[in-house]
Structure 1
Amino acid sequence: MNARTILWTISSSLAALGIAAAAVVTLNLRGEEPLPTAPETVASTPELVARGEYLARVGNCMACHTTQGGAAFAGGRGIETPFGVVHSSNLTPDKAHGIGQWSSAEFWRAMHHGRSRDGRLLYPAFPYPNYTQVTREDSDAIYAYLQSQPAVGEANRPHALRFPYSTQAALAVWRALFFAPGEPVVASLQTAEYNRGAYLVNGLGHCTACHTPRNALGATSDAQAFSGGLIPVQNWYAPALNAAAEAGVKEWPVQDVVALLKTGTAPHGSVMGPMAEVVFRSTQYLTDADARAMAVYLQDLPQHTVELPPATLPADSAMARGAKVYEQQCAQCHGDQGQGQPGAFPPLAGNRAVLLADTTNLVRVVLQGGYLPATAGNPRPHGMPPFRHVLSDEDVAAVATFVRNSWGNRASTVGAIEVYRAKERRGM
């Protein structure tokens, strides 16, 4: 290779890099408007603060921005991701560490564009890919509410992300590929109730953040929205909301969907794991009108058929072992025929959560136990104790296989290796 060829190759490579860099910068600036030059604040009123409090609950802001036993909204909670740990920021009006010096326009830019007050790009562990659909009016109300809270001088903890994910350059590339600022989508042929539900589910409720599969870089796809996904690091499966075989509610009476959102339990199912926390901290506080609007929207989702793997006939030995474990540990609550006890313990016969192709949740519940959220509509829920210190991996696999293949149930078997992996993932 002569010098001219080498020079041409280097020049072409640098030009390509320059074009790519310019494209990344351009894509990261799309939709942004200059911040107001004059100081700008929201005129706070008791009504606006109360509205902001409600909206902050709908968005479940406190769950991430409050450590266990810590001051509300003071940040510092570690959010584990496949790329390292992101620590939530201080949202109190402290001027040194919180948002005390932020204007409502700067707060809106964080919500809508995922950009901090100083212009830094924010990590999407803060779900701005969903919050970008929140209106400016609602953003201002949340801002007014947060500014009304006690200031807490809690310094923000640095993130603990691996290289190169810790760099702004890598984040800029991610945003160029997977993020564009949006706005509420109003379906002209739908009712106001449907559009309100769409706004809550897709925006502040950020339901797709869990109920949609993520690619290797942690991004969701609109084409796969609501089709279910394994929650990274937490290792709970958020079932599909658009499939009757998983967590679809199209055929439910609308009042049962409302009950599930507001109490955590309904005649057709109940919530556990991460969704129990969502109901406890967020959806139980929905107004009846907003809960109904969300139900109407979720029932109207285009439905998909889940392709289940062929169920092989379980070995007689596994069924016998599982039957023995079930009789000793489970039948007292769930019944000899898996019928459950209405208002107390869910039936296992025909239970969608039991029959999911992904057995993660079933194994996790047997190992860790499961507890419904305490809500105003169900203040003293029943729970299931953990069995990880009582049952061996083989016993857990056997009883899971038994309940998936008894009383008319038919699903794939569960192996001890699946139980071991579930324990390994969570350090049990």
Structure 2
Amino acid sequence: MKRWIKWTVGAMVALVVVAAAAAVVGTQLAERKRQRQVTIELAPERWAATLASADAATLARGKYLFNSRGCAECHGVTGAGREFINDGKGMRIKSPSIAPGQGSVVAHYTPADWVRTVRHGVKPDGRPVFIMPSEDYNQLTQDDMGALVAYVRSLPPANGSAAQVELPLPVKLMYGYDAIKDAAQKIDHSLAPPQPIPENVSAAHGAYVANMCIGCHGPGLSGGKIPGTPPDWAPAANLTPGPGSVLKRYPSADQFVAMLRSGKRPDGTAITVMPFESLGQLSDVDARAVYAYLQTVPAKPAGQR
């Protein structure tokens, strides 16, 4: 019996030592990953030379994109940054200020810096952007990219600060051991900006708008647990027609659009986690186009991202 107790205690001690070593190594890997250099070859973008003279229509388009594509959701409608995650359990994330004014992280951004950050998830100094879902914006057209940047640069000055990121140890380890990937890892950096698509209620236009969904629902839109999010966050829904799909709840475009506007299912229950501050700003054409596109997405079982 005494020998069994000694073996048990020894095994437990060994496990603790191994776990501690794994935690130390994982933390070091996470920091190394955050500090790595990512080289991006950039092609010229024609909007860069027109930023200083953006017309009213360009700024209006930029404002619409800022409010409907998630930018205001994270950075606030003023662009000065906001705390958008604080679970009280060690995870706290406040976005940086991107508005003109004291503390802005984009005050000295060149057009190339905007492209690296927004399209590729890479900071001007070559390090990866940790939180921003640049995979959602990688396929913005050149015109939309230019309009978005022009609008951000036109925002009224506001005081802000750099990003503030506090992560619990499990999230750091998942990132260090590559269970959580940053946007720079997910993006195919060789893809060129797409050509403009006519804005109408079509699957083609809906696919363009739905790029904003892949950060949470995955590239295949089948959803599942969003890597790195708080444990009590609901998994992203399956937007494909496959097993476990939520589309059956919305047999018509009217019902789907109503959900985007209200944040509620047809039965009146509230949907959590979804960025309804942004989704509620989608135009009727964009919202219906997304619905048309979702009818064409290849079916996948829920949770396969």
Q: CA deviation at 1:61?
A: 1.1
Q: Number of residue pairs matched?
A: 255
1:258 aligned residue: 257
Deviates more, 1:71-80 or 1:261-270: 261-270
For 2:187, the aligned partner's letter is F
Matched, 1:301 2:297: yes
1:209 aligned residue: 215
Q: Which among 92, 96, 99 is matched to residue 92 of structure 1?
A: 99
Q: Contact between 2:39 and 2:126, CA under 8 Å: does it hold in 1?
A: no
For 1:226, the aligned partner's letter is L
2:238 aligned residue: 240
Secondary structure at 1:72 match in 2: coil
Secondary structure at 2:246 match in 1: coil
2:15 aligned residue: none
Q: Distance in 2 between matches of 1:106 and 1:142?
A: 14
Q: CA deviation at 1:251?
A: 7.1
> Cα distance 1:40–1:128, how it changes in 2: closer, same or farther (>3 A)?
same
Q: Which among 275, 279, 283 is matched to residue 287 of structure 1?
A: 283
1:260-279 equivalent positions in 2, closer than 5 A? 260-265=259-264, 267=266, 271-275=270-274, 278-279=275-276
Q: CA deviation at 1:200?
A: 0.8
Structure 2, unaligned runs of 5 or more = 1-32
- Cα deviation 1:122-151 (Å, max 9, x = unaligned): 11x200022111122212111111112111
Q: Give RMSD over aligned pairs.
A: 4.1
1:137 aligned residue: 143
Secondary structure at 1:159 match in 2: strand
1:156 aligned residue: 162
Q: Distance in 1 between matches of 2:282 and 2:167?
A: 35
Q: Which among 111, 124, 134 is matched to residue 117 of structure 1?
A: 124
> Cα distance 1:92–1:302, how it changes in 2: closer, same or farther (>3 A)?
same
For 2:221, the aligned partner's letter is F
> Cα distance 1:257–1:85, how it changes in 2: closer, same or farther (>3 A)?
same
- Cα deviation 1:199-221 (Å, max 9, x = unaligned): 1111xx2x222224xxxxxxxxx
Structure with higher RCO (Cα < 8 A, 6+ apart)? 2
Q: CA deviation at 1:169?
A: 9.8
Matched, 1:196 2:192: no
Q: Contact between 2:68 and 2:278, CA under 8 Å: does it hold in 1?
A: yes
Matched, 1:65 2:72: no
Q: Which among 114, 117, 123 is matched to residue 107 of structure 1?
A: 114
1:8-407 equivalent positions in 2, closer than 5 A? 28-33=38-43, 41-66=51-76, 72-77=78-83, 79=85, 85-94=92-101, 96-123=103-130, 125-161=131-167, 178-181=186-189, 182-183=191-192, 193-202=202-211, 205=212, 207-212=213-218, 222=219, 225-231=220-226, 232-233=229-230, 234-242=232-240, 243=242, 245-249=244-248, 252-265=251-264, 267=266, 271-275=270-274, 278-279=275-276, 281-304=277-300
Deviates more, 1:141-150 or 1:233-242: 233-242
Secondary structure at 2:280 match in 1: helix
TM-score, normalization: structure 2?
A: 0.67
Secondary structure at 1:285 match in 2: coil
Q: CA deviation at 1:90?
A: 0.5
For 1:136, the aligned partner's letter is Q
For 2:110, the aligned partner's letter is S
For 2:149, the aligned partner's letter is Y
- Cα deviation 1:38-67 (Å, max 9, x = unaligned): 98844222211111110112212112113x
| Structure of larger gyration radius | 1
Q: CA deviation at 1:185?
A: 6.6
Secondary structure at 2:247 match in 1: coil
Structure 1, unaligned runs of 5 or more = 1-20, 213-221, 308-428
2:18 aligned residue: none
Q: CA deviation at 1:293?
A: 0.6
1:398 aligned residue: none
> Cα distance 1:102–1:273, how it changes in 2: closer, same or farther (>3 A)?
same
Q: Contact between 1:260 and 1:270, CA under 8 Å: does it hold in 2?
A: no
Q: Contact between 2:129 and 2:183, CA under 8 Å: does it hold in 1?
A: no
For 1:238, the aligned partner's letter is A
Q: CA deviation at 1:119?
A: 3.4
- Cα deviation 1:320-340 (Å, max 9, x = unaligned): xxxxxxxxxxxxxxxxxxxxx
